Amino acid sequence: MLAIEVQKLRKVFQTKQKAAGLKGSLRALARPDIKSVEAVRDISFEMQNGELLGLIGPNGAGKSTTIKMLTGILHPTDGNALVLGKVPWKQRRDLAYKIGSVFGQRPQLWYHLPAIDTFLLFGKIYELDDAVTKNRIGFLSEAFEITHLLETPVRKLSLGQRMRCEVAASLLHKPELVLLDEPSIGLDVVAKQRIRDTIKQMNAHEGVGVVLTSHDAGDIEALCQRVIIINHGKIIYQDKISNLKRHYLTSKQVDVRFAEELTAPPTLPGTDVIKVGRYGMKLKFDTQNIPVAQVIATLAEAGNLVDVTISDPSLEEVIRTIYEEADKL
């Protein structure tokens, strides 16, 4: 069963334009200039139940607009979508019982109250039995390690603690699908890792599907199996992450260390030198131009190899390249 089915989704906004300065303001009063902005051009994709899907794209790419349409908050100009078998903008309330959401920029926990009060309120919002609510709270607070934080007013929690509570809140009613929009924004590395781990756990044990939107490629890399890249309102790439890295870019980076000092660094045609140090160097090369074996062999001849690391480009670099290529088209 498909959790999400989207076909040719399109959204055009009409916004009033105002020129700068006093004249512009007066002109806008008399004759408003209305501009159409196509935020989402033509988006089609599918998501399986229980999948971990990443949605990545720069600001203004159309991610938030797409998410809003999938939750039924916004009606599209064109196209179809089914989320958990329902048309979001037609069956918004029914769908709301089955999905959860966390918007990094818009908290749902009541700021002045302890998190548990919001959880209890959510129990009433989603019409859960009191006993069910209590059980869920117990279960989730253990999983997210927030049991000791439940009675503290949210305003006193650190951002990382708050986000763990936010994500827990979004799972209170056992949704089948959760939409996370920038959940780790502003968090430090450790806090990010904790959130990622718990989300992965939830997905594994409860089978809840996750749609994660982010600018942070690290989030996507850590959590998602598949990724959709959006730019200028269109999907410019969608595939499994592993395929993305393997097929799209064939460049590799080699980091090599020698036992002796490098007096005459070896030159290899078809490779770019990134950095040269006293005992080692970093090279970049395209496996289509020169195979890995040849690079290693040439380096081994140049001296006593102490350490060799061959790495793939980071997802960040891959995505940047994809943006650039798409823009050129």
Partner 1 sequence: MRREVIFLLSLWKANLLAAMEYRAAFISQVLGMMLNNAVYFVFWMIFFDRFKEVRGWGLTDMLLLFGVVAAGFGIGVALFGNVLGLAEVIARGGLDYYLSLPRPVLLHTLASRSVASGFGDFVYGVLSFVAAGQFSADTVTRFILGTLLAATVFISFLILVNSLAFWIGNANMIAQQATNAIITFSLYPITLFDGTAKLLLLTLIPAAFVGAIPAELVRGFSWQSFGQLFAAAIFFFSLAVFVFHRGLRRYESGSAIQVQL
Partner 2 sequence: MKRTAVFPSLIRDIRKYWAIFRTQLVNSLAYPLDLLSRSFSMVLFMWIFAQLWRTTYSASGQESIAGLSLNDTLWYLMMAETIILSKPRISTQVAEAVKDGSIAYNLNKPYNFILYHFSVSFGDSLLRLVPNALIGSLVVWRLAGPPPATRGWPLVFVAVLAALAIDFCINAMIGMLAFITEEIRAFEWIYAKFILILGGVLIPLDFFPEWLKTAALSLPFAYTTYGPARLFIDPDWDRFVTLISRQGAWLLVCGGILALIYRKGTSQLAINGG
The residues binding partner 1 (CB under 8 A) are: 11, 13-16, 37, 39, 60, 62, 64-65, 68, 71-75, 89, 92-94, 96-97, 99, 101, 106, 108, 110, 112-113, 117-118, 120-121, 124-127, 153
Classify residue 105 as left (phi > 0), alpha (psi -120 to 50) or beta.
Answer: alpha
Instruction: State the DSSP code for 47.
Output: E
Site for partner 2 contains 28 (CB under 8 A) = yes
Site for partner 2 contains 29 (CB under 8 A) = yes
> Exposure pattern of 260-285 as b/e (b: 16+ CB <10 Å)?
eebeebbebeebeeeeeeeebbbbeb
Q: Residue 250, Cβ neighbours under 10 Å: how many?
A: 14
324 φ/ψ angles, rounded to the nearest 5 degrees: -60, -45
Cα gap 254→296, rounded to integer Å: 9
Site for partner 2 contains 158 (CB under 8 A) = no
Site for partner 2 contains 19 (CB under 8 A) = no
Measured from the CB of residue 86, what is the shortest distance to partner 2 in angstroms? 38
Site for partner 2 contains 274 (CB under 8 A) = no
Q: Which of 13, 15, 17, 18 binds partner 2 (CB under 8 A)?
A: 18
Residue 172's nearest CA partner among 206, 217, 219 is 206
Three-class secondary structure of residue 150 per DSSP: coil
Largest CA-CA distance found in the chain, in angstroms, rounded: 79
Site for partner 2 contains 34 (CB under 8 A) = no
Q: Which of 1, 14, 22, 324 binds partner 2 (CB under 8 A)?
A: 22
161 binds, among partner 1, partner 2, none (CB under 5 to 8 A by kind): none
22 binds, among partner 1, partner 2, none (CB under 5 to 8 A by kind): partner 2
Measured from the CB of residue 282, what is the shortest distance to partner 2 in angstroms? 41
35 binds, among partner 2, partner 1, none (CB under 5 to 8 A by kind): none
Site string for partner 2, 242-271 (x = CB under 8 A): ------------------------------
Cα gap 64→322, rounded to integer Å: 20
80 binds, among partner 2, partner 1, none (CB under 5 to 8 A by kind): none
Measured from the CB of residue 28, what is the shortest distance to partner 2 in angstroms? 7
Measured from the CB of residue 230, what is the shortest distance to partner 1 in angstroms? 12
Task: List strand residue ranges (DSSP E) for 167-262, in order.
Answer: 177-181, 209-214, 226-231, 234-240, 251-258
Q: Which of 26, 37, 274, 292 binds partner 2 (CB under 8 A)?
A: 26
Measured from the CB of residue 11, what is the shortest distance to partner 1 in angstroms? 7
- Token representation of residue 224: 């998602």
**Amino acid in position 283:** L
Cα gap 178→174, rounded to integer Å: 10
Q: Which is nearer to partner 2, 19 or 125 (CB)?
A: 19
Cα gap 212→220, rounded to integer Å: 7
Interface residues with partner 2 (CB under 8 A) are 18, 21-22, 25-26, 28-29
